[in-house]
Structure 1
Amino acid sequence: MDIYKILTDAIYPVFKIFVVFLNVVAVLILMYGSFLGIKEFISSKRSKISTDEAILSNQHIKNHLASYILLSLEVLIASDIIESVVHPTLQDLLKLGFLVVIRTAISFFLNKEIEEES
């Protein structure tokens, strides 16, 4: 018997639960960042500030939300990598490559935008 196959079959359920946990954490991070962004937006709209201050406030809110989106994307990438290492089918590896490219591109451009506006 192949020891790798035996270990993989034994450990796979644990890693599958961990992957689901990471996916849930990524969604919670995104929801929390969205909640904070909405809360900040509402409080800035309630205050009596000038148009220039409102623009700066919106820029700050956008950058703050983008940082949560980036963190969520990084957790999702980690989750996909773990899943592909534990269950390396050709379809999973192609899916991982496609998702990592897309998420990395999104992360790159969000990060670039945050740096430009900071």
Structure 2
Amino acid sequence: MARGWILEAAHLVATLAELAAVVIVVAALLEGLWRSAKVFMQRDQVPDELKESLRLQLGRWLAIALEFLLAADIMLTAVAPTWEEIGKLAAIATIRTALNFFLQKEIEAHEQRHGRTTHPDHT
């Protein structure tokens, strides 16, 4: 009885984490589209630095979404009944972790090149 409840709770938490990731990605895409449209409508030529800043702002939100997806993977791994499912979840988690790692490296490189931290409010 308790094991069934734990499985249901783990699946619910994982589903909520995945839903949060979807909401974050949709919001990030809408924000990125809005900011990009504003920038491109106000200028004839958009500096590369500004384009990079817009892209990295989106990247930051995507990194947050990846963290939520990784949390969901961890929850599902904890209750996965077979080694095959654990293997699939491990592969997915590895890919998501690698994506997040390289995204973070790109953000840090941008910040080092420009000697500052870029925040989503700066466009």
Same fold (TM over 0.5): yes
Q: Quote the sequence identity (%).
A: 25
1:34 to 29, 32, 42: 29
Moved more, 64-73 or 82-91: 82-91
Looking at structure 2, the residues matched to 32 and 93 of structure 1 have their Cα atoms a distance apart, in angstroms, of 31
Which secondary structure state, in structure 1, belongs to the residue aligned with residue 51 of structure 2? helix
Looking at structure 2, the residues matched to 19 and 97 of structure 1 have their Cα atoms a distance apart, in angstroms, of 15
What does residue 100 of structure 2 align with?
Answer: 107
2:21 is equivalent to residue 23 of structure 1: no
1:12 to 7, 21, 25: 7
CA contact (8 A) 1:12 1:86 kept: yes
Larger radius of gyration between Structure 1 and Structure 2:
1
Q: Would you tell me which structure has more helix in proportion to its own residues?
A: 1
Which secondary structure state, in structure 1, belongs to the residue aligned with residue 43 of structure 2? coil
Report runs of 4+ in structure 1 exceeding 2 Å deviation: 48-52
Which consecutive unaligned segments of at least 5 residues does structure 1 have?
1-5
CA contact (8 A) 1:26 1:76 kept: yes
After superposition, what is the alpha-carbon deviation per residue over 1:16-51, rounded to whole angstroms, capped at 9, x for unaligned?
Answer: 122111111101111111111111100000113644
2:90 is equivalent to residue 91 of structure 1: no
Which consecutive unaligned segments of at least 5 residues does structure 2 have?
112-123
What does residue 75 of structure 2 align with?
Answer: 82
Superposed displacement of residue 14, structure 1: 2.3
**Equivalent residue letter for 1:107:** N
> Over the residues paired in the alignment, what is the CA RMSD in angstroms?
1.5
Q: How does 1:58-77 map to 2 (within 5 A)?
A: 58-77=51-70
Moved more, 16-25 or 63-72: 16-25
